[in-house]
């Protein structure tokens, strides 16, 4: 396995680099984005797709886990590899991009599909339906599940 931080391909120059489902797994996303910045030509683009830690699903889901008496956090994946170790909101992603020399040109929140199994018991069915409702509301009020962003190296 090769880690992006040590990737020899980042020593070349590119027009576009895609970081889909990457940044939330890195202990030092600043270091990686700096390397990505240096690997892009001026005017080059980076595409980022990450979970939104400020989503309504995250907030309601974490409160639900506490009500159930667990110490789980639905936005940090410490159960299986590769782990989610960093969370981003639109504001923190903009800050990171600006700090590494990028200028965001498009940042959108979107709703993810409900992958929660429907299950056979009443609790599982209610949880699935509840997630549908929270995702719909979150998407409607600007608190969607994921963030997609295009940023330019100027």
111/143 Cα distance (integer angstroms)? 9
Cβ(21)–Cβ(50) under 8 Å? Answer: yes
Give the whole-angstrom CA distance, residue 124 versus residue 100: 43
Q: What per-residue confidence (pLDDT) applies to 5?
A: 66
Place of tokens 């599909």: 113
Q: Residue 134's pLDDT is what?
A: 95
Parallel, antiparallel or unpaired: strands 102-110 and 146-153: antiparallel
Consecutive 10-residue averages of pLDDT for the chain (154 residues): 65 90 91 94 97 94 92 70 85 97 97 86 92 94 95 96
- Domains annotated for the chain, with CATH where assigned, are 14-153 (3.40.50.150)
- Here the tokens at position 143 are 């608190």
Task: Kindly report the pTM of this predicted structure.
Answer: 0.84
Contact (Cβ atoms closer than 8 angstroms) between residue 72 and residue 44? no
């Amino acid at each position: 396995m090769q880690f992006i931080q040590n990737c020899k391909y980042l020593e070349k120059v590119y027009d576009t680099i895609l970081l889909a489902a990457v940044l939330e797994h890195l202990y030092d996303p600043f270091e990686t984005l700096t390397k990505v910045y240096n690997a892009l030509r001026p005017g080059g683009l980076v595409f980022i797709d990450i979970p939104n830690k400020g989503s309504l699903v995250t907030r309601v889901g974490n409160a639900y886990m506490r009500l159930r008496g667990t110490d789980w956090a639905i936005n940090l994946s410490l159960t299986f590899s590769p782990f989610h170790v960093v969370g981003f909101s639109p504001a923190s992603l903009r800050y990171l991009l600006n700090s590494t020399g990028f200028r965001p040109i498009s940042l959108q929140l979107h709703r993810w599909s409900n992958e929660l199994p429907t299950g056979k018991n009443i609790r599982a069915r209610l949880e699935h339906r509840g997630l549908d409702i929270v995702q719909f509301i979150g998407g409607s009020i600007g608190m969607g599940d994921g963030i997609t962003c295009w940023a330019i190296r100027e």
